[in-house]
Structure 1
Amino acid sequence: MTRPDRPADGWTYCDVRPQSRPALPPDLNPRRASLIHVTRAKWVNGTVLHYWLEPSAPSAQHQAVRDAFGTWEDLGIGLRFVEVDDADRAEVRIAFDQGAGSWSYVGKDVLGIPQHEATMNFGWDLTTPWGAVTALHEIGHTLGFPHEHQNPNAGIVWDEQRVLQEFTGPPNSWTEDQVRHNILRKLSPEQVEGSAWDPESVMHYPFDPGLIVSPEQYGRDGIPAPDGLSGDDREWVLRWYPGLEPDLPTLEPGRSVPLELAPAGQADLVVRPTATREYRVGTFGDADTLLVLFEEVDGEPVFLAGDDDSGTDRNALVTVRLRAGRSYVVRVRLYWAWAAGTTAVMLW
């Protein structure tokens, strides 16, 4: 991808939507709380995300978004992206309001947005090099990734007055709150995966010289626009969403399966019931998990039920009617466990 040149009138930036935060007990173990915060925005690996494109936008803008989804998917990640022509069937609804800037909700927060509202918007031409980077950037937010320049490990010291002056003026014309939310605010350590700063990340803004006090070289030279996904972008998305195994172990009724998972790890098991009846699927042990059950329909996983027990003193449990002769997949994402090997999943 071609590295974008700075527009004559300055960079226009993503105004990411505030991320929801789970209400956790105030006395929760800090490490446990951190793992919940980091993981909760991410999708269960193996999810198919359906996206809808506002039909009134030009076809070239539609194609640029398709290409950006394809760039992420072609890395071999375990997520799939499927375009649909009905907004009611889409988890990701994409508008092209040129007066509203470019923005997205973060990760699974899109599931809480009313079905008639967009979860992402593109406010400028996506057929330019900067537009192509913007499309990758906004999809990165939908995958659950925050702004990289707000990484607390970056150690950026801003010239706050110059930053406020720059971004409250055109072409962004943000409020002071928007500037602080999108640039000056540091993410808390519990919101990042402990990664080193990656100034080449597609999730990083470009910055003109004079806005950064330290590191000195970036204040002097600025930070150029990314030219696509960086090496760290590729590494991190595959860490969260690795390619799926073609053959999964079977979860048999009445038999628990131990889960040997590290934090943020995921177990996938297939269920092929021989009897049509109501079943329960649940986890056991001292752990925080997200459990999701899908039915395989025409080669695509369709969500049936899910439960998230993170930060509580209970285990994840779903009750659902399964039909003999059909195929289902149980996916369990681990947030945190007291010790390795202390978590199991069971069907009964």
Structure 2
Amino acid sequence: MSSTPEKARFCTDRILFRDQQRLQRTVDVDGRLQAITLLHKLWITGSTLHVRFLGGTPAQRQVAREQAGWWTEHANIHFVFDDAPDAQIRIAFDPTDGAWSYVGTDNVTIPPDEPTMNLGFLDGGTAAHEFGHALGLAHEHQNPDGGIRWNEPVVIKDLMGPPNNWSPETIRHNVLKKYTADQVKGTKFDPKSIMLYFFPARWTLDGVGTEANEVLSEVDKAYIGSTDAYPRTIKPPELQATELLVDAANRTPASIGAAGEEDLYKFTVATAGTYVANTRGPTDLVMDLFGPEDPTRLVASDDDSGVGLNARIATALDPGTYYLRVRHFDEKTGTGTYTMKVRSA
């Protein structure tokens, strides 16, 4: 994220291969100007994410802390820089590896001895940009509503050279390709977003480039605290979750009453063993399991392993408190009833 075209440096958002192959649903935003998030990558609202530094000077670490705070000032999400061994966010400062981050909850699928973010340079708002990815935000220039018409040969030629030295495949993934409307929340292009790359006018067919956005835009600030991301009006996970009793005699009735709504549950495992959580009913649901004790530690996810379009997770669990998040597959318009149960196998 530099102000000079000849030395423009860019980050990569590391998307898991399975998500490059899978279409997801979108939420329309009624014509409002928006940033964009990748669907099903957001953390539970109110979560605390632990951060561990893998190297870096005191000055580099301080920049990372400060710019992470740009987001949490406006959102119901928290970073703790405690170098915890099981930290969800692990930051390296390798100058030969550029700047990149995994997106949202994908971070917890990465082996614990590997970084989930690299800050190989810290120009302007680079650290804030990468923390935006860690929170689930996507590149703004790949917004399907952006309308950017790339001069592809020029873009590829420039980015294949230093300081990026990218392959054509990497350039297409990180710059030229747009997300489909089925992959993101938020549809309106924000030219001031910190998630937008700087690029020179010669990279576009209409000769219009972008500025180097070094701070959060007003849209960034509003969006990260909106109901599409991390609204402050929602309580911490341990307070908002509905308690489920393991092996309860009756199933718990529930519903997705409004498009985009998410239901959160918690249950306690007293004895190590295999446990099954499932939904039943006519509604197409997605379910995520987090824990133990940590509502950001993703254990498993499922879409249609249950009866019909219902979700079912069966996995071995140690004693502790676990959280289940249930949402409709169609976050744009989907609503419906279902029942919920957790049992020992």
TM-score tier, shorter chain, comes to: 0.7 to 0.9
- 1:223 deviation in Å? 0.8
1:179 is paired with a residue whose SS is: helix
Look up the match of 2:240. 248
Task: Assess, with a 3 A threshold, how the Cα gap between structure 1 residues 311 and 223 changes in structure 2: closer, same or farther.
Answer: farther
Look up the match of 2:212. 225
1:210 is paired with a residue whose SS is: helix
Look up the match of 1:282. 278
Counterpart amino acid of residue 80 in structure 2: V
1:174 is paired with a residue whose SS is: coil
Return the alpha-carbon distance in structure 1 between the equivalents of residues 65 and 164 of structure 2.
Answer: 26
Look up the match of 2:153. 161
Return the alpha-carbon distance in structure 1 between the equivalents of residues 243 and 128 of structure 2.
Answer: 37
Look up the match of 1:344. 339
Partner of residue 91 from structure 1, selected from 88, 93, 96? 88
Most deviating of 6-15 and 153-162: 6-15
Look up the match of 2:328. 334
| 1:262/1:334 contact within 8 Å kept | no
Partner of residue 109 from structure 2, selected from 109, 112, 117? 112
- 1:291 deviation in Å? 3.2
Look up the match of 1:73. 72
Give the number of aligned pairs.
Answer: 320
- 1:336 deviation in Å? 3.0
Structure 2 counterparts to residues 1-348 of structure 1, below 5 A: 6-7=3-4, 10-21=7-18, 33-35=24-26, 38-55=38-55, 57-77=56-76, 79-86=77-84, 88-124=85-121, 126=122, 130-131=123-124, 133-214=125-206, 219-220=207-208, 222-238=209-225, 239-243=228-232, 244-245=234-235, 247-248=239-240, 250-251=242-243, 253=245, 254=250, 256-269=252-265, 281-285=277-281, 286-294=283-291, 296=293, 301=295, 303=297, 305-310=299-304, 313=308, 314-317=310-313, 329-336=323-330, 340-347=335-342
Return the alpha-carbon distance in structure 2 between the equivalents of residues 228 and 71 of structure 1.
Answer: 8
Q: How big is each residue's C-alpha offset from its partner over 1:122-154, in whole Å with a ceiling of 9 and x where there is no partner?
A: 111x3xxx34x1111111112222211112211
- 1:264 deviation in Å? 3.9
Alignment RMSD, CA only? Answer: 3.5
Q: Which runs of 5+ in 1 are unaligned?
A: none
Q: How big is each residue's C-alpha offset from its partner over 1:286-332, in whole Å with a ceiling of 9 and x where there is no partner?
A: 22222325455xxx657485442258744234577797xx8765433
Task: Assess, with a 3 A threshold, how the Cα gap between structure 1 residues 212 and 334 changes in structure 2: closer, same or farther.
Answer: same
1:121 is paired with a residue whose SS is: strand
Return the alpha-carbon distance in structure 1 between the equivalents of residues 138 and 154 of structure 2.
Answer: 23
Return the alpha-carbon distance in structure 2 between the equivalents of residues 142 and 104 of structure 1.
Answer: 6
Most deviating of 36-45 and 5-14: 36-45
1:240 is paired with a residue whose SS is: coil
2:14 is paired with a residue whose SS is: coil
Return the alpha-carbon distance in structure 2 between the equivalents of residues 24 and 206 of structure 1.
Answer: 28
Return the alpha-carbon distance in structure 2 between the equivalents of residues 6 and 98 of structure 1.
Answer: 19
Counterpart amino acid of residue 59 in structure 1: P
- 1:101 deviation in Å? 0.9
Return the alpha-carbon distance in structure 2 between the equivalents of residues 212 and 59 of structure 1.
Answer: 39
| 2:99/2:118 contact within 8 Å kept | yes
| 2:256/2:327 contact within 8 Å kept | no
Q: Which runs of 5+ in 2 are unaligned?
A: 28-36
Counterpart amino acid of residue 18 in structure 2: R
Counterpart amino acid of residue 225 in structure 1: A
Counterpart amino acid of residue 45 in structure 1: T
Q: How big is each residue's C-alpha offset from its partner over 1:235-290, in whole Å with a ceiling of 9 and x where there is no partner?
A: 332322223326536435435141234454322345579x8898754322222222
The normalised TM-score by structure 1 is 0.77
Task: Assess, with a 3 A threshold, how the Cα gap between structure 1 residues 268 and 59 changes in structure 2: closer, same or farther.
Answer: same
Task: Assess, with a 3 A threshold, how the Cα gap between structure 1 residues 257 and 38 changes in structure 2: closer, same or farther.
Answer: farther
Return the alpha-carbon distance in structure 2 between the equivalents of residues 328 and 114 of structure 1.
Answer: 21
Task: Assess, with a 3 A threshold, how the Cα gap between structure 1 residues 115 and 304 changes in structure 2: closer, same or farther.
Answer: closer
| 2:258/2:335 contact within 8 Å kept | yes
| 1:167/1:173 contact within 8 Å kept | yes
